[in-house]
Structure 1
Amino acid sequence: MNYLADEQRYSKMTYHRTGSSGLKLPPISLGLWHNFGGVDTFESSRTLSRHAFDLGITHFDLANNYGPPAGSAESTFGQIMKKDLFPYRDELIIATKAGHRMWEGPYGDRGSRKSMLASLDQSLKRLGLDYVDIYYSHRYDIESPLEETMGALDQAVRQGKALYVGVSNYNAEQTERAAGILKSLGTPFVIHQVHYSMFERRLEQGLLDVLAQEGIGSIAYSPLARGLLTDRYLENIPADSRAAGGSVFLRPEDITEEKIAKSRLLQVLAQERGQSLAQMALAWVLRKGRVTSALIGASKVKQLDDNVAALNQLHFTEDELALIDQILAG
């Protein structure tokens, strides 16, 4: 049976302008860092993508090296596009990135023009697309001039292979320099993807000010601290969890007693607000419109539903925010 998207999808979701650009993103976006690789069940990945779109999630975030194995998340999503989502291509914002090691030799890593443009061509083939909506420099490259990396992003736009560009994991000074270069080239630098959660606050250390100054939006990855800001690890490490499975993304030693104690206190506040801990953590990232969108991962449809429900309660009182800061500082 051919997939038909929920006709009510746009009545279920609001959309935020990305910085000062005309691009709008849903406040919750779906990241394909996990659960879309070659080691995962295709039908599960397909179900998650379709359900996300039915909820009004129009933004799907990838990178060249997502999997495992590297590249397989893009291949999986390419198949989902072909089978289900291609009729809705103009309703979707599809992003990918380059900058981490992807293939052997001196050109399969970092931010040279050769690496960035070759990687984008490979990504488009895996995705089965003519262009992506956002193309990111995945990390700052100390070995390549920033002018070269930004010049490659500019060329991708001028070639029609990307509509917008962004950066990820750049600090405030690097972001400001990148913005100046792209502005001089006339290229739309619309978004910065940054690690941000209650446990990771570097966005607030000057970068937020630069983004506001330059009219650049932001999207937060790992807003749930890779599961630590959910109820999943409050008692023990579940046997089916990433940590128990030896994932490099979350190791048992990352789950410290200090963080778990803080999560338990935060959960009490979340319950008082009528939310789960995960929902409150997402609402906190999105508070006061400081972040355009929060990137979530999901392995089950119910997780998508639960996370999107965070949008029902985004308001915090000043007392609640002060208590959260007190808990985190403790």
Structure 2
Amino acid sequence: MYNASSTRYDNMTYNRTGRSGLRLPAISLGLWHNFGGIDTLENGRAMVRRAFDLGITHFDLANNYGPPAGSAEETFGQILRKDFAPYRDELIISTKAGYYMWPGPYGEWGSKKNLVASLDQSLKRMGLDYVDIYYHHRPDPNTPLEETMSALDLIVRQGKALYVGISNYKAEDTRKASQILRQLGTPCLIHQPNYSMLSRWIEDGLQDVLDEEGIGSIVFSPLQKGILTDRYLNGIAADSRAAGPSVFLSEKEITEDVIGKVRKLNELAAERGQKMSQLALSWVLRGGRVTSALIGASKVGQIEDAVASLNAPELSAEELERIEAILRG
């Protein structure tokens, strides 16, 4: 029987999400990788338990996470039943729909048919009556934005989600989506974009829109798929994701120029008493514009390192200038 740590809320930072009443942990755990049907259940179970003991209350999924697609939600459902039934009201659980999930014209994108059917399937896989946050996972170039947003509004009114958000939307589409949702009476709670030292597109307008519209942000891939760690400082190991068949990271992304920059950043991290991964998290959370950094993990120690990054001093103006110089170099 799992009994959560009595000190789980003592050291985590919780940030208000946009203009809502919801606060999210500064570090959230994503189940994009390592929770699928091909992975070891007990390892996933140990990671979720340790995350919660450290104050991570938010667990992020999508209908297509696995592999195979759907299996991460099934795994999480098992963990919920075994360990977290008494703690459901302490958890923020999110899922998404929009990428390919099943064959035919309704198995992806942003139609009302897809979003409603997909959430029903997700709830069944996890054994839940509702999720806390439901996202449209990517913009749909062919479905009117009004239809997609009205589907999210309908889902909240049906009681299947408490809040809704969007992911991977550019600045202007984010503004339009937010305005439609506000008119419908279901505000857009949060946006989930990718953001890291090596991927900074959200600084070109999106963050300003989020501030103006009162929308929170939870950023995925803050470690740039593992590049912003010590994993590749000495080359590509045979057992690394980049050396394997992963479609999410290839050797082409790990250039000598990129690794040269990471080595210099790693030196700065060491001066601060941090690991490279911890510096990367401190950087995305700097200044308070990001609500939560969404990490992935393959073992418990990575979660512990991520949460420990919150204990580091804030990045100074001089350190931020050094980082910018390294990234520009």
- TM-score band (shorter)? over 0.9
Amino acid at match of 2:230: D
1:59-98 pair list within 5 angstroms = 59-98=58-97
Distance in 1 between the 2:155 and 2:254 partners? 40
Identity rate, percent: 67
SS at match of 1:115: helix
User: What is the CA distance between 1:253 and its match in structure 2?
Assistant: 1.4
1:165-204 pair list within 5 angstroms = 165-204=164-203
Q: Which runs of 4+ in 1 moved over 4 A?
A: none
Q: What's the TM-score, normalizing by structure 2?
A: 0.99
In the alignment, which residue of structure 1 is the partner of 2:163?
164
SS at match of 1:233: coil
Amino acid at match of 2:127: G
Q: Does 1:240 align with 2:239?
A: yes
CA contact (8 A) 2:281 2:293 kept: yes
1:1-330 pair list within 5 angstroms = 2-330=1-329
Distance in 1 between the 2:85 and 2:298 partners? 23
Deviations 1:223-270 (A, max 9, x none): 000000000001011222111121111111121111111100100111
CA contact (8 A) 1:284 1:314 kept: no
CA contact (8 A) 2:28 2:56 kept: yes
Distance in 2 between the 1:290 and 1:264 partners? 27
Distance in 2 between the 1:329 and 1:139 partners? 30
Distance in 2 between the 1:283 and 1:293 partners? 11
Distance in 1 between the 2:100 and 2:313 partners? 38
- Aligned-pair Cα RMSD in Å: 0.7
SS at match of 1:25: strand
Q: What's the TM-score, normalizing by structure 1?
A: 0.99
User: What is the CA distance between 1:317 and its match in structure 2?
Assistant: 1.1
Deviations 1:87-146 (A, max 9, x none): 100000000000000000000010000001100000000010000000000000001000
Which segments of 5 or more consecutive residues in structure 2 lack a partner in the other structure? Answer: none
Which segments of 5 or more consecutive residues in structure 1 lack a partner in the other structure? Answer: none
CA contact (8 A) 2:178 2:187 kept: no
Distance in 1 between the 2:152 and 2:312 partners? 37
Amino acid at match of 1:205: D
Deviations 1:145-172 (A, max 9, x none): 0000001100110000000000000000
Matched residue count: 329
Amino acid at match of 1:105: G
Distance in 2 between the 1:274 and 1:43 partners? 32
Distance in 2 between the 1:134 and 1:140 partners? 17
Amino acid at match of 1:9: R
CA contact (8 A) 1:168 1:193 kept: yes
Distance in 1 between the 2:32 and 2:85 partners? 21
CA contact (8 A) 1:287 1:314 kept: no
Distance in 1 between the 2:121 and 2:99 partners? 14
SS at match of 1:9: coil
Distance in 2 between the 1:125 and 1:262 partners? 45
Distance in 1 between the 2:90 and 2:187 partners? 20
